[in-house]
Amino acid sequence: MRIVKIIFGTIGSVILGLLFMGGGLDLDDIRFQRNIRKLKKEGWFKELSDNGLYYERIFHNEAVREYLLQDNIVVKVKNNEQERNHLISLIKSSV
User: Given this model, what pLDDT does residue 76 score?
Assistant: 96
- The answer as to whether 74 is a domain residue is yes
Per-residue pLDDT tens digits for 57-74: 999 999 999 999 998 999
- The answer as to whether 64 is a domain residue is yes
User: Given this model, what pLDDT does residue 94 score?
Assistant: 60
Domain extent for 54: 26-93
- The answer as to whether 59 is a domain residue is yes
Cα 84 to Cα 59: distance, rounded to the nearest angstrom: 17
Per-residue pLDDT tens digits for 9-29: 777 666 666 666 555 557 888
User: Given this model, what pLDDT does residue 75 score?
Assistant: 96
Sequential DSSP letters for the chain: -HHHHHHHHHHHHHHHHHHHSSSS--HHHHHHHHHHHHHTTSHHHHHHHHSHHHHHHHHH-HHHHHHHTSTTHHHHHHH-HHHHHHHHHHHHH--
Total of domains in the chain: 1
Per-residue pLDDT tens digits for 69-92: 998 999 999 999 999 999 999 999
User: Given this model, what pLDDT does residue 23 score?
Assistant: 54
